[in-house]
Amino acid sequence: MTYTVGYDDVNLPAVIKEAIIISMHRLKTYNQFINESLESPKHFTVEDIWDTISWEDNYKDLFPGYSDENSTMDMNDEYVYDTKESAIEAANDIIDIFDSLPNPIPIYRTLSADSVNDIDLEYAGDYWSFRKESAINFSRSAAVTWRNSFLLEGKIDKNLVNWKATLNAWQHFSGSWSDSDEDEINIEFSNQPKIQDIKVYDLKGNLLIDA
């Protein structure tokens, strides 16, 4: 007897139909788990956070007993964290920050262009901030003075964020709890057209484009 691919075929025995349905459900659940494990910040571990910290050139170790390697700074006896417990606490603080963001995440980006009509809204860039103030502060420090600066606002689903790049950016450009923090959300080129509800403002707050 030959069965068709469709599990709802009338000639397919009920027991086989049930087995296929169960298998499909398990596969969907497994794939969902894998995708969430790779993408969602709530699945980061403290080890993931530690792996993004570059300590070798400036510290003896991340914390006492973290690794078997010695710092390249032979005379440096300092650690990034004095204890393992403080390193765990700091890592969990970072995880909590990203896990607490709503879904979709409101995101902001400043850029310079000759005019608002020169902005590519479909591919608006990789680097966004989850805090408007951080995006505006970045503009003030980096904008080219002879060009106009604009603020882009949008929303992105958490599953479309490049969390690994976002986490690395946090370690290098945020975490000081100051106006210089960039609070970056990284969005890969292929996912940029999926940014929702894009709006463009001038830095005085005037709405220029509502896409």
Matching residue, tokens 């993408």: 39
Compute mean pLDDT per 10 residues along the chain, 211 residues long, and list them. Answer: 40 55 46 44 80 84 80 66 93 90 95 90 94 87 64 95 89 79 92 95 91 78
Burial 53-77 (b: 16+ CB within 10 A, else e): bebeeebbbbbeebeeeebeeeeee
pTM of the model: 0.71
Tens of pLDDT along 48-99?
A: 889 888 888 888 889 998 886 554 555 567 898 999 999 999 999 999 999 8
